Amino acid sequence: MASFLSPSAAISLQHKLNRTSFSAISPNTPSKISHTILGNGRCQGLYFKTKAKGSVEGSLLEKESDTASIDEKIDYGVIGVHHVGILCENLERSLEFYQNILGLEINEARPHDKLPYRGAWLWVGSEMIHLMELPNPDPFTGRPEHGGRDRHACIAIRDVSKLQAILDKAGIPYTLSRSGRPAIFTRDPDANALEFTQVEA
């Protein structure tokens, strides 16, 4: 049986070579891999060509496949996350949680009357959470107890222990990171999972 070089094996070779081009031919299976590496170590293009020969009912089958698996780096100017949209059933109840428990402030500059539903924009550092009072297609029950195993938004904070004390005082349940890192998971009144991870100053 013929052996083939997989594209993933070819990709890993680019990190081990310090030159601009590479071609390899297997002695058992005529295969050729060619690619160009840019100055920053990124692969500009990968060309994977394989010829395989095998016996099928006494006849010789020759197959050639060309696969372009990596192209140039995709760059359209990503800067960061602008905001995260969170659905809520009752805006006032959600604001009680996000403002009075978590201490987030409303961005008054964002329009509230130009959308066909009620909502609020809350500052999270230089980014925002957009609360939207809309029907939630997600179930409220049967969700994982640990928010890290559910869809969630993650907020970077300076001190997990202080937030833990705030949630304890408010009687809001939470779970700690299962990996042991300083992070805490909780849910808002609509069961939306939130992670707060501690980062260095």
Query: pLDDT grade, residue 113 (50/70/90)?
Result: confident
CATH for 83-198 is 3.10.180.10
Instruction: Locate CATH 3.10.180.10 in the chain.
Output: 83-198
Q: What is the pLDDT of residues 54-98, one digit of tens each?
A: 444 445 444 444 444 566 899 999 999 999 999 999 999 999 999
Query: pLDDT grade, residue 141 (50/70/90)?
Result: confident
Q: Above 90 in pLDDT, residue 11?
A: no
What would the mean pLDDT of 129-155 be, rounded to a whole number?
Answer: 93
Beta strands in 11-146 (DSSP E): 21-24, 31-37, 43-56, 59-68, 83-88, 119-124, 127-133
The single-letter code of the amino acid at 92 is E
What would the mean pLDDT of 117-123 be, rounded to a whole number?
Answer: 97
What mean pLDDT, rounded, does the chain reach?
77
Provide the 8-state DSSP code for 58.
Answer: T
Q: Which two tokens stand for residue 111?
A: 């329009």
The single-letter code of the amino acid at 101 is I
